[in-house]
Amino acid sequence: MRKILLHPDRPARPFVSSLVVTLLVLVASMSSTTLAADKMKAADVVAKHLESIGTAAARSSAKSRLIAGNARATYKARNSTGSIDGNVAVGSVNRNTLLAILFEAPNYPGEKFGFDGKKLTVGYITPGIRSALGNFVVQYGEVFKEGIMGGTLSTAWALLNVEERGAKLEYGGTEKIGEKMVHKLDYSPKKGSELRITLYFDATTFDHVRTQYTRTVSARLAAGGIDNQARQQETRYKITEDFSGHKKEGDLYLPHKYTMQIDIAKTTGSSMEKWEMDLSQFLFDQPIEDTKFNVEGT
């Protein structure tokens, strides 16, 4: 076999040097990118996110919002699936918030949640009976009272005054939702929560694009002992809110598509309910009666 010898003074040395330089540049670039992500703080994400909504003056000028549009509910369980069309309304004044998803169906009139600044109320689907989503909000009322549910659609949006609320935010790095890179923040209310609450923001625009709530309720030992415990069920809850189609309304950039989904998984089976909402009407500084934020009996 014929050997190929490279003389030390020939072009091999410049080639090797160039290769080394290229590798060093790539490593430096990767390191700087990693460091940039490592140095990102929750406060940085919040600040950029608030700018994505509008200027400080614009965010504070509109004291009330009334948003309406079309809604479709879809459900899927072991033995049944279906969908129904209706309407949605989101109303808010400062920290008072109302979310109503309404359908003209006797067996499912929809969902109603209200917070008047002091009391949380949740509607019934039939007298004395709430939906799975309604029961979830009753049990974990902080998701609504904190101004988390509904995101930037509401004047009560939790990130508009984090310090005043005393909430704790922790930067959780980046990941992809579909093809979109996002920043993650873990949100802990001042009084704590049994839920894990994660907020997601577009890594380029810093629009709020998702909120996810997760909770696992373990099987408990009943009075009957271990044999009875075997019949107990572990239940896993995941509620996801997705926001997209951010466009300018008045002086603010707000989402025009809002999707909420609740997944409940048990050892005996699972269920899914989803509400897809297209928002088309945005009104600002319209009077909303205080009584509207209490949905009991309505």
**Looking at per-residue confidence, does 77 or 175 come out higher?**
175
Higher confidence at residue 296 or residue 158? 158
The predicted structure's pLDDT at residue 90: 98
Instruction: Identify which of 159, 245, 235, 234 has the alpha carbon closest to the alpha carbon of residue 202.
Output: 245
What is residue 15's predicted lDDT score, i.e. its pLDDT? 44
| CB 263 within 8 Å of CB 237 | yes
How crowded is the C-beta side of 27, counted as CA atoms within 13 Å?
A: 6
Q: How far apart are CA 202 and CA 173, in angstroms?
A: 12
Residue 208 has pLDDT above 90, yes or no: yes
Q: Is pLDDT larger for residue 57 or for residue 217? A: 57
CB 83 within 8 A of CB 70: no
Tell me, what's the pLDDT at 22?
A: 46
Percent of the chain residues past pLDDT 70, beyond the cut: 82
On the question of pLDDT at 236 being above 70, the answer is yes
Mean pLDDT of 249-256: 97
Q: In the prediction, which pLDDT does 235 show?
A: 87
Distance of CA 237 to the CA centre of its chain: 14
Confidence of residue 38 (pLDDT cuts 50, 70, 90): low
- What separation, in Å, do the N-terminal and C-terminal C-alpha atoms of the chain show? 92
- 298 band by pLDDT with thresholds 50, 70 and 90: low
So what's the pLDDT on residue 232? Answer: 63
Phi, psi of 216 (to 5 degrees): -115, 125
Q: Please give the Cα distance from 108 to 137 (Å, whole number).
A: 17
Q: How far is residue 237's CA from residue 142's CA, in Å, rounded to a whole number?
A: 16
The pLDDT, as a whole number, for residue 67 is: 98
pLDDT digits (tens, 9 = 90+) for 139-171: 999 999 999 999 999 999 999 999 888 999 999
Q: For residues 2 and 198, give the distance between their C-alpha atoms in angstroms, rounded to a whole number.
A: 64
Residue-wise pLDDT for 215-233, tens only, equals: 988 766 444 444 444 456 7
Tens-digit pLDDT profile for residues 64-108: 999 999 999 998 877 778 899 999 999 999 999 999 999 998 889
**69-73, 191-195, 267-271: which is most confident:** 69-73
pLDDT at 221: 43
Report the pLDDT value the prediction gives residue 42, as an integer from 0 to 100: 96
pTM, to two decimals: 0.83
Q: For the residues of 253-267, what is the DSSP string, one character each?
A: EE-SEEEEEEEEEET
> Average pLDDT, stretch 274-291?
95
What pLDDT, on a 0 to 100 scale, did the predictor assign at position 4? 41
Q: What percent of the chain has pLDDT over 90?
A: 69
pLDDT at 294 over 80: yes
41-293 folds as outer membrane lipoprotein receptor (LolB), chain A (2.50.20)
* SS3 per residue for the chain: CCCCCCCCCCCHHHHHHHHHHHHHHHHHHHHHHHHHHHHCCHHHHHHHHHHHHCCHHHHHHCCEEEEEEEEEEEEECCCCEEEEEEEEEEEEECCEEEEEEECCCCCCCEEEEEECCCCEEECCCECCECCHHHHHHHHCCHHHHCCCCCHHHCCCCHHHHHHHHCCEEEEEEEEEECCEEEEEEEEECCCCCCCEEEEEEECCCCCEEEEEEEEEECCCCCCCCHHHHCCCCCEEEEEEEEEECCEEECCEEECCEEEEEEEEEECCEEEEEEEEEEEEEEEECCCCCHHHHCCCCC
DSSP reduced 3-state for 241: strand
